[in-house]
Chain A
Amino acid sequence: MMQKNNAFARIFNVLVYLFLYLPIVVLIIFSFNDSKSRTVWAGFSLHWYQELFRDEEILSAFSTTITVSVLAAVIATVLGTAAAIGFHNMKRRPRNLFLTINNIPMTNADIITGVSLMLLFVFAGNLLGFSLGFGTLLVAHITFNVPYVVLAVMPKLRQLNPNLGEAAMDLGATPWQAFWKVLMPELRPGILNGMLIAFTMSIDDFVISYFTAGSEVSTLAMQIYAMTRKRISPEVNALSTILFAVVLTLLVIVNVRQVRQEQLNEKRARALRKGGN
């Protein structure tokens, strides 16, 4: 094993966390401020939370964000899983070509993806008579989500025993049954992982939405950007505090469950070993 950490290492790492969390702490504290000021404390109040829940623009932006992220993640997962299976069965050359194209939206700068999609949507919109809106926003999100799903599913396919599906079919399963009953359970962790990454990417996106959403819909990130370009209201702080609390709670729940699951597995494994002895 490498050497144990000394005090310097510990302090260094704690400082990194301080740096990462400092602005978040500031945001949270001032969401409870009684005055509009962002730097002078005027007493505790829940005023901005009340304002937030009355702010229709923010609430509708929030629901747009959730809707687009869930839809995009689900569609991207279906599209990406199918694509990964297809790619997996291709010859090396076409597979590498498609995987390279698949990587473009991931490695490319967001602003180029956003701007290029905007050009396409406006161009096609003029031809076919539609304008930027929820539809284009959704398509853009799916486009940058699928690569992550493909990337999450591919390694699981590589680990798969290629004879598994055939064995199932030899035993009388239809191709669908072979897929759902045999392949799916093996791929599931990869697929779920991909879906989660896709959902996170959608929630987090600002730049691509900014260029592809047009005027009628607005995501939370776009709304926040618009707010920071004006007089900033501490409603934003209240909103971010709520989001932070939700994410923190979710993470704790997920991880507690995971730890429990692991403990359970360990117990089972131990029991099995005992049985074997």
Chain B
Amino acid sequence: MKKLVSLLMALLMVLSCVFLPGCGEEQGEVVNVYNWGEYIDESIFDDFEAETGIRVNYATFSSNEMLYSSIKSGGSSYDVIIPSDYMIARMIAEDLLLELDYSQIPLMSNMDPQYLHRDYDPQQLYSVPYMWGTTGIIYNTKMVDKAPTSWMDLFTTDLRSQVLIFDNPRDCIGLALKALGYSFNTTDKDEIAEAAELLMKQKEKGIVQAYVMDQIFDKMINNEAAIGTYYAGDYVIMAEENPDLAFCMPEEGANLFMDAMCVPVCCENYNNAMAFINFMCRDDIVLRNCDEVGYSTPSATALAEMDPEMAEDPVIYPSEDVLAKCETFGGLPSDVLSFYDHEWIRVCLAKVKYRG
């Protein structure tokens, strides 16, 4: 037994030196990147490390709200984060972002000017556009009798336990707002409450199978559900694996989002963050990344070099008149945000009342 204890101690010493951060491992340069799941070609990290010697520590979140929670709670240290438009606006307003040093991001000039100085960052001080896209309805042509054409179809369908809905308050309540003909950015609490009621009825009727984020990949690819709401870029990836899937841009219009690279106040490796952001703007990297994740690039130079089959895909790069119907999430006042949280909990709480 004594042997066992001493053996354990020895093991411990070896382990702690081999594995403890900062002990055995070389104290190299790192950059902590926090991104959406399924939203980058991870092999790019190897290239980045090979060229700059900076190792990428990578973690993922599944919604803007989750990202917000982990930055706001203050316990973590990320160097580069990739929030969406409305969350950038909120984080700027709450002083959670650092200004960027654009002199260290020369490739910013690749960006198409129409994607700069947007409402969420009007002076373009805090962000570098990463990708953009729209939301929409993904459906399995073999599992639906009639293809959905609008958000409202998700509430009136005869299908039971076949619909997957966004698992975050803004997207989920947003699509119900659109179905009712309201704006994504309404501050009218009655309208928001009405949207929540609609979602609760949908759940009670047994239409919804689950509220999911990235789990939708598995479920749609394996024919687990007939209809799902998600991002157009992700549909492209799913359709590669399940040819029965189709995409519909709802007639009410969808969310046009812009995700951008930002640096939160908890950043500890600012210069590495700048280097990483600049690297992500390089044309060859953008092209590889787009190919992997399926979203649309804001880089004018990369788009010019893109394989036309992809650059002309109407799902990824919709026409002007489709985009005209879309709306971008804007920042909301804090009382509306907490009302969103309140209504979201009500939706989560609703119970299936009957099926069939």
Contact = CB atoms under 8 A, between A and B. Distances in A.
Task: Say if the two chains contact directly (CB < 8 Å).
Answer: yes
A74 B8 contact: yes
Contacts of A229: 37, 62, 213-215
A67 B12 CA distance: 8
B76 A216 contact: yes
Contacts of B73: 118, 122
Given A70-B11, A134-B20, A232-B218, A215 B77 contact: yes
Given A215-B77, A231-B214, A131 B266 contact: yes
B215 A230 contact: yes
A197 interface: no
A71 B21 contact: no
Nearest to B70: A215
Determine the main DSSP class of A at the interface with B. helix
A192 B16 CA distance: 21
Contacts of A57: 58
A215 B32 contact: yes
B25 to A, nearest CB: 10
Interface in B1-50: 1, 4-5, 8-9, 11-12, 15-16, 18-21, 32, 34, 37-38
A122 B214 contact: no
Determine the main DSSP class of B at the interface with A. mixed
A122 B70 CA distance: 11
A223 to B, nearest CB: 10
Interface in A227-243: 228-232
Contact of B16 (A67, A133, A188, A232): A67
A63 interface: yes
A39 B215 CA distance: 16
Nearest to B4: A192
A66 interface: yes
Nearest to B268: A131
A27 B273 CA distance: 39
A64 B19 CA distance: 7
A37 interface: yes
B217 interface: yes
Contacts, number: 88
Interface string B197-222: 00000000000000001110110001
A215 B78 contact: yes
Interface string B288-324: 0000000000000000000000000000000000000
Interface string A56-80: 0100000110110011001000000
B9 A74 contact: yes
A76 to B, nearest CB: 13
Interface string A21-36: 0000000000000000
Given A74-B12, A230-B62, 17 more contacts: A67-B15, A67-B20, A71-B12, A74-B9, A132-B76, A134-B20, A192-B4, A214-B75, A215-B34, A216-B76, A226-B59, A226-B60, A229-B62, A230-B38, A231-B38, A231-B215, A231-B218
Interface of B: 1, 4-5, 8-9, 11-12, 15-16, 18-21, 32, 34, 37-38, 57-60, 62, 70, 73-78, 213-215, 217-218, 222, 266
